[in-house]
Amino acid sequence: MTNIHRCWVYGDNVNTDVIFPGKYTYTLKTPEEIASKALEDLDPTFATQVKAGDVIVAGRNWGMGSSREQGVTSLKYAGVNCIIAESFSGLYFRNCINQGVLPIVCTGLHLTLHTGDSIELDIANNTIISGGKHYSFSPLSPSVQKIFDAGGLLPMLQKQFAAAK
């Protein structure tokens, strides 16, 4: 089964300070507030125009820098459930899994797309279809897939703690 997603396309080395500025990290708490600052210093049009189901398509080293989870949750609360990049910062990749946002490592895609273009995503077959071309990506490793399938680290632990009671 494939789903069609609208893309927001960015380059290499997009850092967490421009994804979610550090000055907001201790004071903004609600999902609406956090989503309203997503990509504030990268693309001021994003937060007002993003729609549920949109995906990010980026170059190398997406999410480098800070450990702040709002780098992922600001996008998640804005409706983004999948980020496709040539590569991710290790910390950002972990934060994605823990928040139930799918990180897809796929090369050669972001330079062919512009913001507003659409792609087809076939997660079951690890394939992206764009401009008539098929791009395959590696599935998550089994231990990581387990956390993702639970909806993230928090829901997984909630189940474990509820079962232990």
Partner 1 sequence: MTGYTFVEKALARAAGRVNVRAGDILDIQPDVMFSHDNTAAIRRIFEKIGAQNISRPERAVFTLDHAVPAPTTEHAQNHAEIRQWAKAQGIRQFEVGRGICHQVISEEALVLPGEVILGSDSHTTHFGWLGAFGMGVGRTEMAALWATGQLWIRVPETFRITLIGKPPAGVTAKDITLRLMKDKSVGGGAYRAIEICGETLQHWSIDELPVMPNMMAEFGAMSAYIAPDERVLEYVHARRARAVQAADSDPASYRFRPYEPLYPDTDAVYDEDYTLDVSTLQPQIALPHQPDNVVNLSEVAGQPIQQALIGTCTGGRLSDLEAAAAVVKGKHIRSRLLIIPASSEVLLEATRNGTLATLVEAGAAISTPGCGPCMGNHMGVPASGEATIMSGSRNFKGRLGTTDAPTYLSNPYVVAACAVAGKIIDPAEIIGTMEA
Instruction: Report, in Å, the least distance between residue 54 CB and partner 1.
Output: 23
Instruction: Report, in Å, the least distance between residue 2 CB and partner 1.
Output: 30
Q: Is 74 in the site for partner 1 (CB under 8 A)?
A: no
Instruction: Work out the angle between the directed axes of helices 142-149 and 90-99 (0-180°, nearest 10).
Output: 40
Query: DSSP letters of 91-142?
Result: HHHHHHHHHTPEEEE-SS-GGG--TT-EEEEEGGGTEEEETTEEEE-PPPPH
Q: Nearer Cβ to partner 1, position 81 or 118?
A: 81
Site for partner 1 in 17-46 (CB under 8 A): 17-18, 21-23, 25-27, 29, 40-42
Q: Is 95 in the site for partner 1 (CB under 8 A)?
A: yes
Q: How far is CA 157 from CA 40, 73, 103, 151, 161, in A?
A: 32, 18, 21, 10, 6
**Footprint of partner 1 (CB under 8 A):** 13, 15, 17-18, 21-23, 25-27, 29, 40-42, 60-61, 64-69, 87, 89-91, 94-95, 98-99, 141, 143, 147, 152-154, 157-158, 161-162, 165
